[in-house]
Each structure stands twice: as structure tokens, then as C-alpha cells.
Structure 1
Amino acid sequence: MTSRIHTFRIASLAWPILIGQLALIANGVIDTAMVSRFSAMDLAALALGVSIYVSVFVGLSGVLQALLPTIGQLYGARRFGDIGREVKQGLWLAFFLSCIGCLVLLFSPVFLSFAQASPELAEKATLYLRIEALALPATLGFRVYAALNTAISRPKMVMAIQIGALLLKIPLNAWFIFGGFGLPAFGGPGCAIATSLIAWLMLLTGWMLVRGAPIYRELRVFGSGFVAPQWKAQRSLLKLGIPMGLSYFIEVTAFTLMAIFIARLGAVAVAGHQITANVGTVLYMLPLSLANATGTLVAQAIGARDWQTAKKISRAGIRLSAILSVLIGVAVWFAREQIIRAYTPDEVIIASALPLFLFIAFYQLFDSLQVTTAFVLRAYKVAVIPTVIYAVALWGIGLGGGYVLGLDPFGVSPAWLHGAAGFWLGNSASLGLVAFFLIWYLRVVQRRVVQRRVVS
């Protein structure tokens, strides 16, 4: 196949994933917008609760991402009957991970004590997290369904369910946050009630489709009897999934710790950083979707033992992601003031955020390169070395360098990098290093695959 065909296949698979990801982000935006109209205390509790829940969810769902290359390779090898067994082991893994996550969320006061929040704020945040604990098993179970569909190149139904969930979110949020029809106003924790109900509806809808739709029949997810958890299968998923989950955790905490350090500089600096980070998160969904699609198609090619096609797809995906990121970076740079004004009319905050958009404009390239390459490596079932690269670069160089440049404890940083700009430069440089070393390591992995093929 030509490079153009591979690019078209990646784009065709990526766009439903992108829309689904944007629908998930929109849920958080809706929560924030609606709770902000209830009370400042509930908004603060929501922010505190979400920061803990996201850290737990991202780490655990990252482990389940091991299903993508595993099922993708089986699908490429046309071992359809084995996919059902792997999916069942994935559901068992989701159950075990849910038990761990629920314990963390139920005992959230231990973690909230570090925030030194007021008793009322801590109480609301605790209630929010304990209700979210009810949603976690369903959310992780749906991640297994999403992984199955993405791995067999059928993400449109996942997208449809996610859009349907988003449409339900607004009326359910309004009901549980503000009360009505016999229910009291729950405020911020009402978001968690709505999320829990929707999560279970999504789970039931997804697996009912797997049970009834003809396209899933040959995968033998249903109708093949009860399958107990098997240590060999669980160990194989964990061997790949734990470093993947850690890499997600490292990425999330790198941004979280950035915000904590920048908070020392005052409310204006934090506000400018938050706007920039929010824009960056939305923009990240495009390369993340392309990475998912590229990794899936590479895994399928590997399963078919078509090593040359796997290499061509990886190059096409990385190239497409890089080109689009450059175009987006240029567009963001020229529209930076309009984007910031859509967030706030405050001239002081606008002045704080404007310099940071320089980094948003060019770090998109590094971010797109690293995430697409990381997903390709996962398609080859390689995750440990990339996780080490993430830890050293993002925590060591990104946060460490950002601390030195932004807070200037040694008096060596130039004045224009003092504050949030220093942290953003450190983060951008670390992503550039991650991208460089991951691309280098991918070439090493692909060369080894070719050498093993020649020897065999």
C-alpha cells in the first residue's frame, strides 16, 4: 500500500476516536459550568475531587490500554476466537483494578487531609469521591468495550455512546445539582450522581451491543461459557499495562505538580497557566486520537506478521500527526489573543497567559511526535523503556528544569523566564527529549524485529 492509503486509513479510524474524546472533555466542562452557578464552595469541592479522581482513573484505565495492542495483534492474525477469551480476562482485570480504585476513593479523607481544606470543603469533596467510586467499575468496564472496538477498527459505536452520554449529562446534572421533582439540591456531588448513572448506562449499552450485534459473533465474547481469571493472561496484560498506566500517571502528575509550583506565584499566574493548560489539553486530543489509530493499525499489521506494512503505517501516522500539529500551532499563535479572551475579559490574566501561548504553539509538535511514537511502541508490546524515558524527562528535566527557571532559586534564570514561562519551557523541552528518544528507540525495536525475522 502507498503512504497515502495508510494515511487515509489512520484518519478514517482517528476521527470517531477524536469526537469521542472531545465528548468526554465536554462532560468536565459541563460539570464546572453548572456547579459554578450553584456555589463557590461546591466548585472548589468539585475541583479538589476531580483532581484526585482523575489521577486514580487515568492510572487504572492506562493499565487496561494493554488490551489495545493485544486484541489488535489477535485481530490482525485473524485469531478471532482468542479475542473473546482476552476480552473476558480484560473484564476480570477491570474488576480487580476497580476494587483498588474504589478503596482509594472511599478512603479519600486521608488524601484530602494533605490539601488542608476546610471541614466543609473536605466533606463535600469526600462525598463527591465516594459517589464516583460507584461509577468507577462501570467506567473501567466501558474502557474494555472501547479497547475492543478500537482494536478491531470499529470505534464509531463507542463514539455514538459517548455522544449520547453527553446529551444525558446536562439534564441529569441540572436535576441532581439544583434539585427538583422531589429530590434535594446536591450541589457539586450531584455531578457524581449523574456521572455514575450515565457510566452504568454506557456499560450496559456497550455490552448489550456486543451480545446482540452480528459483527461481534465470531469473536465469541458471549456464548462461550464462563471463564475464570487466569494468572498467565493477567500477568501478560499487567506486564504491558502497568508501565503504560505509569506513563499516563507521569504525564498527568507532571502537569499537576506544575500547577502546584506555579500556585506559589499568586492567583494571576495560576489563572494564566490554567487557561494555557486547558487549551493544550483540548489540542492534545487530536494527536492522541491519531496515536490510537496508528497504534491499532500497526498492531493489526504485526499480528498478520506484515512487518514492512507495520513500519510504513507507523511512519505515516507520525508524519500526519507532526504535520497537523505544526498547522495547529501556527493557527493557535495567530489566534492566541482571541482564544484567551474567550476564557476571560480580565486584562491582567490575559497579559499573564499571552506569553505562554508561545510554548503552546511549538510544543504541539513535540507532544504529537511523542504520543504517536509511544502508541506505536505499545503496538509492538514495548512499554518499560518508554516509561523510564517519561519519568526521567517529564519529572526530572521538565519539573526540575521548570523549577530552576521559573522560581530561580539559584539566581541563574533570565528575567523573561521567571514565573510560569520557566515551567512551560521546562515542560516543552522535556517533551522534545521524550519525542527524540522514543523515535530513536522505535527504530531500534523495528531493526531488531527485522533481524529476528532474517535469523528465523
Structure 2
Amino acid sequence: MFEHVKRIATLAWPVLIGQLAIIAFGVLDTAMVGRYSALDLASLGLGNSIYISVYMALSGILIALMPIAGHLFGAGRSNEIGNEVRQAFWLAAGLSVIGVAVLAWPAPLLRLADAPPELAGRTTAYLQILAIGVPAGLVFRVFNSLSTAISKPRMVMTLQVIDLAIKVPLNTWFIFGGWGIPALGGPGSALATTLINFGSAAIGLFLIARHRDYRALAVFERFCWPQWRHQLALLKLGLPMGLSYLIEVTSYTFMAIFITHFGTRVLAGHQIAANLGAVLYMTPLAIGIATSTLVSQTLGARDPVQARALGLHGILMAGGMAVVLTSLVLALRHQIIAAYTPDSLVAAAALPLVTIVAFYHLFDAIQCSTGFALRGYKITTIPTIIYAVALWGVGLGGGYVLGFNVPGTLPELFTGARGFWFANMASLVIAATSLLIYWLRISNPSHRYAMGHPSIHAE
């Protein structure tokens, strides 16, 4: 077990640092745009919720390259990975058309949000700049997935940390103006992100072409057009992945919209809990990605017994870390909330929610790590159905019933924002239990998926 934990940790820590750098992007934008104007901060919040929903859904599809390339890498068939990467780039080009179209003309989505004209105008400007960077962002996602699949996550981490360092001066320049550039406010942060996306994509392509760890894959040694069999395989795996990301993002977006009805202080308390939950999630996410990589490589090497052991140890590792983090949050919750806000009323609203988040993280860690272990087996459809039923049905539907006390007889403890978080925790209990049971069946060495048969792409 120790050897497996060591291998998982070696891959997980660079992923964790990279993911924390990505979260820091959002924190920087919020803090710096908030100093510019309240209108721009509101447009950032609305625009970012739309952008994240679109980008995560599209980039999630491209993560399909990770288990496909991982199986080939583990099987010693690295010479076939280059073609899979070329096909992923073609798919990224097609998805870019969708992403650019949705973000460049966001009026239907803004009407759905009932945004007033001034807010809609600033949000449109913000999204149109981000739209330009979508192709670059998706190209970098291909590089990210490839690097993880061949156990080179430090390359991605290094670029993400450098991007974060560059983000600070670019944000300052474009948001507040200077050196011939007018103050752009919220759209300035979008311009900084877009330029960084193109820089990262260019470096990623250069590394694939010239770095010794990628050059052997021969990605750019020849040109090829889209091959529909490979495109179908990517989509068969990737579409459920993209949908699962969309389900997760929209469940939290709608949760925030509903909680708005309880007042600004309650909403502020919810935002503290949600942000803390997102930070905690980065640890099981990193462990899950590392576990998925090693499971797919081991299945490619036709060793289902080791694949099952790696998956189990990854899930146990994520659960163990969750127990530690939950204990820390419970012990330090007052100090954590104080670091977010000096407002005593907001702190009072946040305290019960942060307490719920501490326990909710235990189940979040199990569902996340188990879901990624299943991706190592090229299993994506059934988990997505589980997420839809749990997060949308139980989480949002149950949250609405509890939060707004639809029966009219619920105790106060389970109503309001707490009702939404209790329902969300219940949805994760269901998702974690269902995914774990399903993984135990799929990972059985006698099961056809455990053999990693190359003709099997998804269930």
C-alpha cells in the first residue's frame, strides 16, 4: 500500500499546486476588480458563472484524452499516442467554435439572468474578450491531459504557477490602466486571462514539439485530418465528462441564485462556505487525477489486480486526507471565517454553513476520487447519470424543498441556506455510495472492463 500511496502522491502534489493556482486566479480577479467598481464586480460574478459553465463543459470533453493516452502509455504503445493527440486538437478546434459563439453573443443567457442593461453591457464586454481566448484554453487542456496521462504533471504545474505570477501585473495594468492603456475594469481582467491563455497554449505546443518527454510521441511529425472513429471514441468518453462538469458547476450556480432570496448577509455567508468547499475539493481532485492516471496506465499494461489496488488506495488516501481536513476546519472554523470577513453578522450566517461543509467534504472526497478511478477504466456515462440524479435531483430539488420549507412544517435547522447545504451533503452521500458500489463491481479483475479491452470506450 505504501508504494501505491507514494506513487499517487508523486503525481498528485503538482496537480494540487496547479489547481490552487487556478483558484487563485479567481480570487485575484475578485479582489482587484472589486477595488475598481461595484458594477464591474457584479459583471465579473455574472460573467464568470457563464464562462466557467461553458468552458468547463467543453474542456471536460477533452479530458477524454487522458484515459485513452494513459492506456496506450501503460501498454507500451506510445507510438499511437501522437495520433490521439492530433485528433484531440481537431476536437478542440470544433469545440472552440461552440465556445466562441456562446460567449461572443451572450444576450440569450443574460436575458435568462434578467440582467439590467448596464450590467448586461459590462458582462457582454467581459465575455467577448474571454471568447477570444477559448481556442487557446482548449489547446492547453489537450496539453494538460496529455501531460497527466504520461505522468508529467510538473510541466503543467510550472506553467500554471508562472501564469499566476504574470496575472498580478497584467491585471493591475489592464484593470486600472497605465502606460497608454485606459482603465478597463472587469474586461481588463478578462484581457489578462486571454493573453495568458495564448501564452500557455504556445508554450504547451512548443514543449510537445521539442521537449524530449513529448518528442518521442511524434505528435507533429505528420499531418492528418479528423478520423471519425477516433473522434467518436473521444466524444463517447468526453461528452459524459463534460456533462458531469456542467452538472457540478450549475448545481452550485443555481444554489447561489436560490440563496439570494434570503438576503445579502446570508448570501455572503454562503459564498464563504462555497469558497472554502472549493479549496478543500482541490486535494481529492488532485488525488483523483493521479489515481485515474495510474489506473489507466496499469490497465493498459493488462494488470487488473494492481489497477484495483491502486484505485482502492487512491480512494482511501482521499478519504484519509478528508478526515484530516474536516478535523482542521471544525477546530479552526471561527478563525477561518474571521479571515474571510470582519462582519459579525456575515460570520454568524457563515458559521453553520462552514460546519456543514466540514462534514460534506468527507463525502465529496470519496465521490471525487471514486469518479476519477472509474475514468481510469474509461467509464463515464453511468457516473454522469449518478451525478445528475444526485446533484440536480437530490441536491437542488431537495435543497429547494428544505430551503424554502415547502411542506411548511420543517424545523428551522433544516431551512434557509442550511437546507440547501444539508441537501447538497445528502446528494454527495448518494453519489459517493453509488459510485463506490459501482467501482467495486467494475474493478473486479474478472470483469470485462477491468481487463482494459481496447475496443471498450465507455459505458
Q: Bin the TM-score by the shorter chain.
A: over 0.9
Match of 1:291 among 274, 288, 293: 288
> What does residue 118 of structure 1 align with?
116
Percent of aligned pairs with the same residue? Answer: 53
> What does residue 103 of structure 2 align with?
105
Match of 2:27 among 26, 29, 35: 29
Displacement of 1:12 in angstroms is: 0.5
CA distance in 1, matches of 2:190, 2:45: 12
> What does residue 43 of structure 2 align with?
45
> What does residue 217 of structure 2 align with?
219
> What does residue 457 of structure 2 align with?
none
CA distance in 1, matches of 2:56, 2:366: 21
> What does residue 368 of structure 1 align with?
365
Displacement of 1:430 in angstroms is: 0.6
Match of 1:410 among 407, 412, 419: 407
Contact persistence 1:406–1:413 (CA under 8 A): no
Match of 2:396 among 396, 399, 404: 399
Displacement of 1:263 in angstroms is: 0.9
> What does residue 143 of structure 2 align with?
145
Displacement of 1:394 in angstroms is: 0.9
Cα-Cα RMSD = 1.3
> What does residue 15 of structure 1 align with?
13
Q: What are the Cα deviations for residues 316-336 of structure 1, in whole angstroms up to 9, with x where unaligned?
A: 100000000011001001110
> What does residue 207 of structure 1 align with?
205
Q: 1:64 to 1:320 in 2, by over 3 A?
A: same
Pair 1:425 & 2:404 matched:
no
Displacement of 1:118 in angstroms is: 2.3
Contact persistence 1:173–1:191 (CA under 8 A): yes
Residue range with higher mean Cα deviation, 318-327 or 259-268? 259-268
Displacement of 1:117 in angstroms is: 2.1
Displacement of 1:417 in angstroms is: 1.4
Displacement of 1:448 in angstroms is: 7.0
Secondary structure, in 3 states, of the residue corresponding to 1:219?
coil
Contact persistence 2:441–2:447 (CA under 8 A): no
Q: 1:345 to 1:230 in 2, by over 3 A?
A: same
> What 5-or-longer segments of structure 2 have no aligned partner?
454-459
CA distance in 2, matches of 1:5, 1:125: 49
CA distance in 1, matches of 2:26, 2:450: 47
> What does residue 274 of structure 1 align with?
271
CA distance in 1, matches of 2:360, 2:430: 11
> What does residue 156 of structure 1 align with?
154
> What does residue 176 of structure 1 align with?
174
CA distance in 1, matches of 2:449, 2:438: 17
Contact persistence 1:404–1:413 (CA under 8 A): no
Secondary structure, in 3 states, of the residue corresponding to 2:224?
coil
Match of 1:328 among 325, 329, 335: 325
Residue range with higher mean Cα deviation, 196-205 or 400-409? 400-409
> What does residue 91 of structure 1 align with?
89
CA distance in 1, matches of 2:425, 2:398: 10
Displacement of 1:451 in angstroms is: 6.2
Contact persistence 2:175–2:186 (CA under 8 A): yes
CA distance in 1, matches of 2:333, 2:124: 37
Displacement of 1:412 in angstroms is: 2.9
> What does residue 262 of structure 1 align with?
259
CA distance in 1, matches of 2:37, 2:339: 22
Pair 1:236 & 2:219 matched:
no
> What does residue 193 of structure 2 align with?
195
Displacement of 1:445 in angstroms is: 1.1
Secondary structure, in 3 states, of the residue corresponding to 2:444?
helix
Given residue 326 of structure 1, which amino acid in structure 2 is its aligned partner? V
CA distance in 2, matches of 1:117, 1:305: 54
Secondary structure, in 3 states, of the residue corresponding to 2:342?
coil
CA distance in 2, matches of 1:450, 1:124: 54
Contact persistence 1:307–1:450 (CA under 8 A): no
Pair 1:74 & 2:72 matched:
yes
Question: What TM-score, normalized by structure 1, do the two folds share?
Answer: 0.97
Match of 1:131 among 119, 126, 129: 129
Displacement of 1:450 in angstroms is: 3.9
> What does residue 309 of structure 1 align with?
306
Q: 1:453 to 1:337 in 2, by over 3 A?
A: closer
Contact persistence 2:33–2:40 (CA under 8 A): yes
CA distance in 1, matches of 2:44, 2:397: 29
Residue range with higher mean Cα deviation, 300-309 or 258-267? 258-267
Contact persistence 2:326–2:358 (CA under 8 A): yes
Structure 1 residue ranges, 4+ long, deviating more than 4 angstroms after superposition:
451-454
Pair 1:351 & 2:341 matched:
no
CA distance in 1, matches of 2:448, 2:271: 47
CA distance in 2, matches of 1:146, 1:320: 23
CA distance in 2, matches of 1:448, 1:386: 20
Pair 1:385 & 2:392 matched:
no
Question: What TM-score, normalized by structure 2, do the two folds share?
Answer: 0.97
Contact persistence 2:304–2:450 (CA under 8 A): no
Displacement of 1:453 in angstroms is: 8.1
Displacement of 1:452 in angstroms is: 7.9
Given residue 182 of structure 1, which amino acid in structure 2 is its aligned partner? G
CA distance in 2, matches of 1:215, 1:409: 58
